[in-house]
Amino acid sequence: SQTIHQWPATLVQPVGSPLSLECTVEGTSNPNLYWYRQAAGRGLQLLFYSVGIGQISSEVPQNLSASRPQDRQFILSSKKLLLSDSGFYLCALAVSTDTQYFGPGTRLTVL
Amino acid sequence: KNEVEQSPQNLTAQEGEFITINCSYSVGISALHWLQQHPGGGIVSLFMLSSGKKKHGRLIATINIQEKHSSLHITASHPRDSAVYICAVTDNFGNEKLTFGTGTRLTIIP
């Protein structure tokens, strides 16, 4: 069965510092991978998705970037964090239209 | 206007009550998902629907494609059902991206 690992689980970073959140998946090959963010008091929003190694699509203009260096690895990065980057970040994978799996999430607080 | 609208935003009920959460969408979809988010943030997928009705234990989900509407029902509600319930849709472009509703916060009082 598919498993998604995310780390770290929680992170507190100062404004202007860099960010790297990692997501790795097991139990599947060539999945579609997604980064979602849930800002405080708001719904989930798609940030990036990837259909394969090196293939990244961005859904919203922002301070963040994503990379997929390996089939089962998806990384979310920022060079300089903003206060507005605070939120709950979820990695997800889809192996078909009817199957979506979510990681445990990373709670990021930017101070 | 959001592509996915949920109602109510907040719902408080007594244990044992029948619960209904509604979801309306305005785009063409290939599937609709009901998700449960626990206080720590973790998300569990409850149902995926493309037509009709599904049942799992005390949870029932229905969808009306013509009316672009789905409902999630909980029978014999229990305090452990307290969570945020999120409706999400995948569009029909084949990339399985999810567009989410803002969620319904359900609190079941013992």
> B55-103 pLDDT, tens per residue?
999 999 999 999 999 999 999 999 999 999 999 998 776 677 888 998 9
Query: B104 — contact with chain A (CB < 8 Å)?
Result: no
Give the residues of chain A that fall short of pLDDT 50: none
Q: Which residue has the tokens 């509407």?
A: B69
CA distances from A13 to A20, A82, B107 (A): 11, 10, 32
Query: What is the pLDDT, as a whole number, of residue B94?
Result: 67
User: Most A CBs within 10 Å: which of B51, B89, B96, B97, as the mutation test of the A interface?
Assistant: B96
Query: What is the pLDDT, as a whole number, of residue B64?
Result: 95
Q: Pick B93 or B23 by higher pLDDT.
A: B23
Residues in A 10-39 with any Cβ partner in B closer than 8 A: 32, 34, 36, 38
Residue B1: pLDDT above 60? Answer: no
Residues in B 18-37 with any Cβ partner in A closer than 8 A: 30-31, 33, 35
Contacts of B16 (CB under 8 A, 6+ apart): B76, B77
Taking CA A55 as the corner, what is the angle to CA B86 and CA A106, rounded to the nearest 5 degrees?
40
User: Residue B96 phi/psi, 5° resolution?
Assistant: 60, 20
Query: What is the pLDDT, as a whole number, of residue A98?
Result: 63
Residues B39 and B1: beta-carbon distance below 8 Å: no
Query: A90 — contact with chain B (CB < 8 Å)?
Result: yes
Contact yes or no for A98 and B50 at CB 8 A: yes
Contact yes or no for B41 and A32 at CB 8 A: no
Query: What is the pLDDT, as a whole number, of residue A97?
Result: 60
